[in-house]
Amino acid sequence: MGLPRRSRQRQRRRCPLRTSGVSITYPLLFLPAALTAAASSQVRQNYHPDCEAAINRHIQFQLYVSYVYLSMAAFCDHRGLNEKPFTRFFLSKSHEWSAFTEMFLTLQNERGGRIVFRNIEKPNHKYWINGLASMECAFHLEMTVNESFLDLYRLASSKNDAHLCSFLKHRCLQPHFQVIREMFALLSNLRQVEAKKDDIIEYLFTKLYLDDRSSKN
């Protein structure tokens, strides 16, 4: 028979950190948030709250412009074949302003601003009695947008915001001036065609001119 084994007492192993009296120092968990706040402060430098609010109002207005053009396109499409060139033209303008609004959304985020969306007002279509009348309303709409650009530029200038002034001048005012010139020329020709009271001439003119303008966009 073998010799009896001695009973072994199981020794509890203690964590050395608990018995050595060493205190654990955790990293500063809030450091990334502090860095983020500092970065946000740097981004917002020289971005006045009045400019931020004005940009939000302009974003809302451009969304309204895109919505109006979309409504014009649907309204002209409902009236029949003779209005099809106007339908394509207004639809291209709606897409154009929608894409242009995305540029302002990017600007607001890059400057550290907060984007605020509101309800878009329903367009009033009682004056869109024909293609010419719709184009008159469209020209007035473009002129109103231009006034909004100018108001933004004057505000940015008064707040010494050189970045916003440069953006408005080169990305908005200068290109939009050309848009207004083209639309004014189109509207002048449409008035002359309308004066002739010839539906065939009006259809051919709008098809050639407006379809060419829509294809460029």
CB distance 111 to 47 below 8 Å: yes
Q: Which of 77, 66, 73 is nearest to 90 (CA)?
A: 73
Residue 96 labelled as part of a binding site: no
The Cα–Cα gap between 148 and 55 comes to 10
Task: Judge residue 63's burial from the number of C-beta atoms within 10 Å of its C-beta, 0-12 exposed, 13-18 middle, 19 or more buried.
Answer: middle
Long-range CB contact pairs, 17-23, < 8 A, 24+? none
Could you count the other beta carbons within 10 Å of the beta carbon of residue 43?
Answer: 13
CB distance 173 to 148 below 8 Å: no
Mark the binding-site residues, compressed into ranges.
142
Mark the binding-site residues for Fe cation, compressed into ranges.
142
